[in-house]
Structure 1
Amino acid sequence: MVTLTRTPGDSASGPRLAPAAVTAAVVAFVVIGVQQSLYGPAIPALRAAHDISAGAAGAALSVHFLGAVLGVLALPRSRRRGIADGTFLAAALALIASGCVGFLLAPGWPLALTAAFVAGVGFGGIDGGVNQVFTEIYTGDGGGHGMLNLLHGCFGVGAIAGPVAIGLLPGYGWAFVACAVGSVIVLPVLLGIRTGRVADPRRAGRRVLSLLGLALIGFFVLHVGLETGAGGWETTHLISTGLTASAAATATSGFWFAFTAVRFAVVPLCRRFPPRTIVIACTVMTPVAAVATLSHPLAPWAYGLLGVAVGPLFPTGLAWLGQLRPELIPTVVAVSMLGGVAFPPALGLAVESFGPGAVPWGLVGVALTTVATLALITGLASRPGPNR
């Protein structure tokens, strides 16, 4: 199957993925969105099936993310060895399918965790690999960052659908089976991807850890931390403001809905505004929304606004990164996960020490730090020189 097409404008904009390949990549992102969201809702069933504690059951998600980091970082090594991107992506889907099935069939919890790790490696391979391919192919095109927002919006759809599926299906295992089946279905299509990407020798010699590189990495870690911190602690904070547990949970769902919906909504804007403009506008909005969460009456709506502000940052930021330092994409995708690992527990410690009122103050602090980091990036990016 041919997965690259050329149009009369290719001399200026480069090759494009064929519609079948784009569809397969989008479906793969829905699959990994579902996959990531399954472990938490499955905890009660996992505890009963394996006779384990809640903490042990929660280790599945930690192991998943550990594997994901390795999967993301495997892409540069794969390319250095001359392995085609399609082969890499197909292998990642095979790991997801085998890991999901192994997780269900494992006779004991240690083997189940091993399977979760395998599936996590596949998750990271798809996350890093598809992001890399889409960034390289579409970033040079005006509005091409809309493709990244579309892609990540579909990831959000999967993340929303996963818990719903566990609630509707007769057992949690069916949702994992669906991930495996979806992976197998799109595997042959992604196997045929040939991007023809050749390393740019002018970029290859750049120091990854230049000041600009560090600032870019820091920016992604911060806004992912803001995203996961708000989503993880919003319910706790809103209950402390007087909302019922049900109303607070509904408001938290609203945050994730806004976070996902805005990625689709911003797609048409990407034809009019470059990624830098959208990133700056959304980042400046984050401290405004975070400060508004300090007001009890405004807090539920402010979290929704924060979801709108944060939603486009990762995909649009990747498009901007592809223009500034494309060699950093695998590193950024992997290291940005640290924001999700570190910031929610840090907020938890603050809540233990100062109460739920610490949540909005923590969000304000991270949002302001993100704005400051963005200011540093824009200043450094405007400087000439290969090691900026």
Structure 2
Amino acid sequence: MKKLIRTHAALLFAGVATFVVMGAGQSLYGPALPAFSRLFGVTVAEAGVLVSAHWVGCFIGVGFMYLRGAAITPRHALALMAVGAGGVAALAGWGLTLVAAVIFGIGYGMSTAVFNPRVLRAFGDRGPSMLSLLNATFGLGAIAAPLVFVALGSDPRWSFGMTSLFCALIWLGAGSAGDQTLLPAGVVRPFRPHWGILTFGAVAIGLEACLIGLGPTALIAAGVAETRAAELLSAFFVVFLLSRTALIFTAHLIPSFALLTGAMAVATFSAFGAALLSPEVFFVALGAATGLFFPGYYVTASRKMGEDIRVPPTIIAGGLVGGIFAPLAVAPMMAGLGEVGFFWVLGGVTSAMTVIAVLALPRMQS
């Protein structure tokens, strides 16, 4: 394992650093929505379109990877992330800020589709564990960013500006990571779309997008102060990080779809706990389930859909469908859902998905 790490050190460094910044950038939208609402004179629901704009950009980036994945390097992705985050920080108008969020999302989507398959393939049998390590580092940035946002006076100019700067710094050191190929060696299993797992991925990533992007707003609706909501989002990501860190040591031992099924069950318990008992405590607990969604989905889909270069972008695009449309559906409903209505909706969706996942378990694990 040490030899593999030395061999792929450049890939691992660039991937870890990029995922830290990706976590920071995505987690900033949630606590920043009230600030964007005030700065641009839009409602909080309208400000929530920024979250979907980010995910639309991700979908476009993944589309580029599907068409031209072999030609895309980490530096392409990082350059777009730097430009997009800088554009959001500029606050040059509501329309231009939405465009900048799309550009940031394009780089974000490319980064996901560049690094995940490279790491999964480079580390062989330990690929699922290293994939969990890579995605766990997302949590480091996601924990820090809301706290930094509050410390900087809840001003999106400073927080998104710092995100842009870090992307530029990683770009400087990411050149040799582009030497890692996306193409597998030897015989390639054909491309076989699997609509069942893609549907699970769309729902799981949609839930993640709503929790990260709209969760702080839901907490505020339940009576939590804005600064406290940002702190709770950081605590959510602490639990998120712990669950993904545990996978570094266990992912190769647990069937990936069983992991996704268990995560849905935990999310159901936590969502109803937030609705019935304590939004603060159980919102944080939801981080444990959310941290398991993507690794369980990605590894299952990779096993089901083959090794063709089109497979990783397709897997990620499946998740992005949920990431785009779930916030668009939920954000306009927030005002009419009541104090904890967001969590009732979440619990209803996750309980239904848990039942379906249990029934599908034998077929998904074969």
- TM-score range normalised by the length of the shorter chain: 0.7 to 0.9
| 2:10 corresponding residue in structure 1 | 20
Match of 2:115 among 130, 139, 153: 130
1:338-349 matches, cutoff 5 A? 338-344=321-327, 346-347=329-330
Question: Are 1:90 and 2:71 counterparts?
Answer: no
Contact 1:238–1:300 at 8 Å: present in 2 too? no
**Which whole-Å CA distance do the structure 1 matches of 2:337 and 2:35 have between them?**
34
Q: Size of the alignment, in residue pairs?
A: 357
Greater helix fraction, Structure 1 or Structure 2: 2
Amino acid at match of 1:262: S
Question: Are 1:179 and 2:166 counterparts?
Answer: no
**Which whole-Å CA distance do the structure 2 matches of 1:345 and 1:52 have between them?**
19
| 2:305 corresponding residue in structure 1 | 325
TM (norm. structure 2) is: 0.79
**SS state at 1:227 partner:** helix
Q: Which runs of 5+ in 2 are unaligned?
A: none
| 1:362 corresponding residue in structure 2 | 345
| 2:189 corresponding residue in structure 1 | 203
Residues 230, 182 of structure 1: alpha-carbon distance in 2 compared, 3 angstrom cutoff: closer
Residue deviations 1:281-308, cap 9 Å, x none?
A: 3334333434444542x66544444322
Residues 167, 334 of structure 1: alpha-carbon distance in 2 compared, 3 angstrom cutoff: same
| 1:279 corresponding residue in structure 2 | 260
**Which whole-Å CA distance do the structure 2 matches of 1:127 and 1:176 have between them?**
19
Larger Rg: 1
Amino acid at match of 1:120: G
Cα offset, 1:276, TM superposition: 4.2
| 1:221 corresponding residue in structure 2 | 202
Residues 189, 21 of structure 1: alpha-carbon distance in 2 compared, 3 angstrom cutoff: farther
**Which whole-Å CA distance do the structure 2 matches of 1:245 and 1:368 have between them?**
29
Contact 1:27–1:186 at 8 Å: present in 2 too? yes
Amino acid at match of 1:325: M
**Which whole-Å CA distance do the structure 2 matches of 1:109 and 1:225 have between them?**
24
Match of 2:42 among 31, 45, 53: 53
Contact 2:58–2:106 at 8 Å: present in 1 too? yes
The alignment's C-alpha RMSD in Å is 3.7
**Which whole-Å CA distance do the structure 2 matches of 1:187 and 1:379 have between them?**
43
**Which whole-Å CA distance do the structure 1 matches of 2:160 and 2:232 have between them?**
27
Match of 2:240 among 242, 256, 259: 259
Contact 2:206–2:323 at 8 Å: present in 1 too? yes
TM (norm. structure 1) is: 0.75
Residues 164, 234 of structure 1: alpha-carbon distance in 2 compared, 3 angstrom cutoff: closer
**Which whole-Å CA distance do the structure 2 matches of 1:54 and 1:157 have between them?**
30
| 1:270 corresponding residue in structure 2 | 251
Residues 116, 247 of structure 1: alpha-carbon distance in 2 compared, 3 angstrom cutoff: closer
**Which whole-Å CA distance do the structure 2 matches of 1:91 and 1:112 have between them?**
21
Residue deviations 1:42-61, cap 9 Å, x none?
A: 55666777x55346655444
| 2:296 corresponding residue in structure 1 | 316
- Using CA pairs under 8 Å that are at least 6 residues apart, name the structure with larger relative contact order, 1 or 2: 2
Amino acid at match of 2:63: L
Residues 276, 16 of structure 1: alpha-carbon distance in 2 compared, 3 angstrom cutoff: farther
Contact 1:103–1:116 at 8 Å: present in 2 too? yes
**SS state at 1:312 partner:** helix
| 2:103 corresponding residue in structure 1 | 118
Residue deviations 1:329-362, cap 9 Å, x none?
A: 3223223233344445555676666644544442
Residues 164, 323 of structure 1: alpha-carbon distance in 2 compared, 3 angstrom cutoff: same
Contact 2:89–2:160 at 8 Å: present in 1 too? yes
**SS state at 1:53 partner:** coil
